[in-house]
Chain A
Amino acid sequence: MFPCPCIAPALAVNGPSLLPQIEQDPQQDEEQDPEQTPGLLDSILWMAAPKKRRTIEVNRTRRRAERKLIKVKTNIEPCPECGHLKQKHILCGFCYAKICKETGLIRQQIKEMEGGPLTAPPVETVVLYEGETPSEQDGGKRIVERPRKRPAWFRN
């Protein structure tokens, strides 16, 4: 925003080559010092700066070029389960949220069953809904009961 080198000297010439050789020593030392520390004086000479203000037409052609415009997506289709829109290679957001909600409730139930951290039993878990009994495969598994009807998308 505001330029930094406000303390640079206005003169910007190569000191020693312009001065005659018969100059006194203190004056030569003064001129040589800024050259030996190549800081502000040298950098001013090669710093890149815009020559002219870019017109709004030039700016617009750059900002509105084809490659900078947003591309229209052609991979959007309706989800066959719920009818909301989804992208072809991504799960439907609505269906995923619905499943997340149910799994959240299952996790809450497991938390209540366990009662504290690091108390998970070293056995598999099976989720049973209303009116279901554990089958022969679910012999030694931990049972989590959910007091509702089995959702259509959660098959045994």
Chain B
Amino acid sequence: MLKLQVLGGASQQLSCLHTSISLDAKHWERNNRKVYPPQLPEEPRRPAEVYHSRRQIKYSKDKMWYLAKMIRGMSIDEAIAQLEFNDKKGAKIMREVLLEAQEMAVKNHNVEYKSNLYVAESFSGKGQYLKRIRYHGRGMFGIMDKVYCHYFVKLVEGVPPKPEKRTGFDQAKEYVQGLKNRTIIHSL
């Protein structure tokens, strides 16, 4: 994969220029080529990010969404395990994409441990459809769409962040606190 040699300090300004290096320079994959300036010694270490996608999968984007929603926020091992035992067609394809992304992360993106990744973003998009004719009765016809979808995933190095659980009791407590904080403004 070709890498853009961006001049050190001016990387942020130059990244908005249209430099078409390769034919398959789609937007999601371009994120992989982003180069940050070197970090100062006091800064916390920036976790590695890997962007990967697969285009024109012969599957519906709505059906793919359910699988993408399931693996959001999981660690990569957990995600691969869940997809292995799911019976949907998209699960097999998604598992291949995740394994490819994991391999890319270790080989090209300086990730030390292949298990130390989690799924930060995962979603599906509409691909280019083919149109066909579906014959109805009485000489009527409908236009049938042969659906295709894209699948996008972003893996980030590190432990998956725990989603904050807000119970009903916490929300009620906050509401009561808000009521208690009411005062009369400009009073004596």
A residues with a Cβ closer than 8 A to B are 1-2, 4, 63-64, 68-70, 72-73, 76, 85, 87
CA distance in complex: A73, B86 (Å)? 9
The listed residue with most A CB atoms (<10 A of its CB), out of B67, B138, B141, B142, is: B138
Task: Determine the chain B residues whose CB is within 8 A of the CB of A64 once the complex forms.
Answer: 69
CA distance in complex: A72, B134 (Å)? 37
Asked whether B69 lies within 8 Å of A2 as measured between CB atoms, the reply is no
Looking at chain B's contact residues, is the secondary structure mostly helix, strand, loop, or mixed? mixed
Chain B residue nearest to A70 in the complex (CB): B70
CA distance in complex: A4, B141 (Å)? 11
Asked whether A70 lies within 8 Å of B137 as measured between CB atoms, the reply is no
Asked whether A4 lies within 8 Å of B84 as measured between CB atoms, the reply is no
Asked whether B84 lies within 8 Å of A85 as measured between CB atoms, the reply is yes
Asked whether B138 lies within 8 Å of A70 as measured between CB atoms, the reply is no
Asked whether A76 lies within 8 Å of B81 as measured between CB atoms, the reply is yes
Asked whether A70 lies within 8 Å of B67 as measured between CB atoms, the reply is yes
B residues with a Cβ closer than 8 A to A are 62, 66-67, 69-70, 81-82, 84-86, 88, 134, 136-138, 140-142
Task: Determine the chain B residues whose CB is within 8 A of the CB of A85 once the complex forms.
Answer: 81, 84-85
Task: Determine the chain B residues whose CB is within 8 A of the CB of A70 once the complex forms.
Answer: 66-67, 69-70, 86, 88
Asked whether A2 lies within 8 Å of B82 as measured between CB atoms, the reply is no
Closest 4 CB pairs of A and B: A1-B142, A2-B140, A70-B70, A76-B81
Residue pairs across A and B with CB atoms within 8 Å: the count is 36
Asked whether B70 lies within 8 Å of A72 as measured between CB atoms, the reply is yes
Q: Smallest CB–CB gap between A92 and chain B, Å?
A: 12
CA distance in complex: A73, B88 (Å)? 14
Task: Determine the chain B residues whose CB is within 8 A of the CB of A2 once the complex forms.
Answer: 136, 140-142
Asked whether A4 lies within 8 Å of B81 as measured between CB atoms, the reply is no
Asked whether A76 lies within 8 Å of B62 as measured between CB atoms, the reply is no
Q: Smallest CB–CB gap between B50 and chain A, Å?
A: 23
Asked whether B136 lies within 8 Å of A76 as measured between CB atoms, the reply is no
Q: Smallest CB–CB gap between A61 and chain B, Å?
A: 14
Q: B82, B137, B140: which contacts A72 (Cβ < 8 A)?
A: B82
Task: Determine the chain A residues whose CB is within 8 A of the CB of B84 once the complex forms.
Answer: 76, 85
The listed residue with most A CB atoms (<10 A of its CB), out of B81, B85, B88, B142, is: B85
Chain A residue nearest to B86 in the complex (CB): A70
Can you pick out 29 interface pairs between chain A and chain B where the beta carbons lie within 8 Å of each other?
Answer: A1-B134, A1-B140, A1-B141, A1-B142, A2-B140, A2-B142, A4-B137, A4-B138, A63-B62, A69-B66, A69-B70, A70-B66, A70-B67, A70-B69, A70-B70, A70-B86, A70-B88, A72-B70, A72-B82, A73-B82, A73-B85, A76-B81, A76-B82, A76-B84, A76-B85, A85-B81, A85-B84, A85-B85, A87-B85
CA distance in complex: A63, B69 (Å)? 12
Task: Determine the chain B residues whose CB is within 8 A of the CB of A72 once the complex forms.
Answer: 70, 82
Chain A residue nearest to B144 in the complex (CB): A1
Task: Determine the chain A residues whose CB is within 8 A of the CB of B85 once the complex forms.
Answer: 73, 76, 85, 87
- Besides the known contacts A68-B66, A69-B69, A73-B82, 20 further A-B residue pairs in the complex with CB atoms under 8 A apart: A1-B134, A1-B136, A1-B140, A1-B142, A2-B141, A4-B137, A4-B138, A4-B140, A64-B69, A69-B66, A69-B70, A70-B70, A70-B86, A72-B70, A72-B82, A73-B85, A76-B81, A76-B84, A76-B85, A85-B85
